[in-house]
Amino acid sequence: MAIDENPDLPDTDALIEDLRTLVQCESPSSDPDALARSADLVARLGTELLGTEPERLGIHLRWRLGGPTRVLVLAHHDTVWPVGSLRTHPFGITDGVLRGPGSFDMKTGLAMALHVLASLDDRTGVTLLVTGDEELGSPSSRTLIEDEARGARAALVLEASADGGALKLERKGTSIYEVVVKGRAAHAGLEPEKGVNASVELAHQVLAVAALGDPGLGTTVVPTVAAAGTTGNTVPAAASFAVDVRARTVAEQVRVDTALRALRPVLPGAALEIEGGINRPPLEQALSADLFARAQRLSAGAGLPPLTGVAVGGASDGNFTAGVGTPTLDGLGAVGGGAHADDEHVLVDRVADRTALLRALVTDLVRTTP
């Protein structure tokens, strides 16, 4: 029996139509009004499909579908695309390729989750959590995600797949910092010696920070946005630069954090402040291995495309579920590419097999999870 002929599976055409509705409701993370409209829409669609209303937690939505959480299905409805993006990147399907802002990251995954859970006869212990601030680093949903995950035996994350449909078995943890330099202003032409040049101190610190990476361990420490000074003829009294840190292990995150906080000024009279810290813990492969093996077994048994898995540098809310020790499988959503880019797209002919995989995995977990 072909995948799309299986009566137990969701109707792919209906799923795509709901995806169209989700994509055409723009939901940039930084726009509260747009997020509220999007949350209203997701709540309505979810209520129609699941037969029950969600708990409304601001811009976040939670459906507990029967008893305490044992299987957590995790999605988000926010995107990086500003309101108005539909004018230049309209929803459409051409030659089997679906396009539209947020279609790949990750509204297809959200539509899949809603339709799969709606198709299940037994949803005991399944919770669907849809958040609205993932693209910002989940500042208001992190505690909600972690608390829900602590009671679960598995977390399934509907982020888009890696290249070719690969699941994401390992994600680096992220840390975000700002190094603030304080100096002293002076006239750059008349008496520069009376100043403490924050730009020069920044240069010393940028080089020191960049040296903290460890390519052998996969740890990257990257100075990014920098700013200094006020006018072209004034010794800068202040400067700052942002630092992006990615690491495969908590130990590496702690090492870099300790080293950053141990930085000391080079110029006499300069001062440093280190703001920020560890944001997302890593998703280590040990926490995805058993679920990936289960998914491979189910995929092979159902005649679905072979599953592969990869390690990726980007973070997701799966980092939080793994960070509290919950087995986590990520990248279960759309197959396509171009996340956050002009060529964002979804391969329509892969929606059916990804939906079948998700349904098989949730069903198996519900049956075997005490």
CATH code at 36?
3.40.630.10
Do 129 and 19 lie in one domain? The reply is yes
> Vertex 264, ends 258 and 265: CA angle to 5°?
150
**DSSP class per residue in 83-140:** TTHHHHS--EEETTEEE-TTIIIIIHHHHHHHHHHHH-S--TTEEEEEES-GGGT-TT
Q: Is 237:188 a contact under the CB 8 Å cutoff?
A: no
- For 150, the domain range is 3-172+283-368
Quick check: is 170 catalytic?
no
Q: Which of 220, 255, 280 is the last residue of a domain?
A: 280
Q: Which of 280, 296, 325 is the last residue of a domain?
A: 280
Reading the chain (370 residues) residue by residue, the pLDDT tens digits are 456 567 678 999 999 999 999 999 999 999 999 999 999 999 999 999 999 999 999 999 999 998 899 999 999 999 999 999 999 999 999 999 999 999 999 999 999 999 999 999 999 999 999 999 999 989 999 999 999 999 899 999 999 999 999 999 999 999 999 999 999 999 999 999 999 999 999 999 999 999 999 999 999 999 999 999 999 999 999 999 999 999 999 999 999 999 999 999 999 999 999 999 999 999 999 999 999 999 999 999 999 999 999 999 888 999 999 999 999 999 999 999 999 999 999 999 999 999 999 999 999 999 986 6
The rounded distance, in Å, linking the Cα atoms of 240 and 224 is: 10
> What interhelical angle do 32-50 and 12-23 show, nearest 10?
160
Residue in the structure block whose two tokens are 């060529």: 343
Provide Rg for the chain, Cα atoms.
23
Q: Is 71:154 a contact under the CB 8 Å cutoff?
A: yes
Quick check: is 134 catalytic?
yes
Q: Which of 237, 259, 280 is the last residue of a domain?
A: 280
Do 59 and 145 lie in one domain? The reply is yes
**Tokens at residue 229, please?**
């000074």
The total domain count for the chain is 2
The active-site residue, picked from 26, 105, 133, 134, is 134
Do 10 and 92 lie in one domain? The reply is yes
**Tokens at residue 320, please?**
């939080």
Do 322 and 361 lie in one domain? The reply is yes
Do 189 and 299 lie in one domain? The reply is no
The rounded distance, in Å, linking the Cα atoms of 56 and 133 is: 14
The active-site residue, picked from 18, 26, 78, 201, is 78
Do 94 and 162 lie in one domain? The reply is yes
Residue type, 366: V
CATH code at 231?
3.30.70.360
> Vertex 167, ends 257 and 10: CA angle to 5°?
130
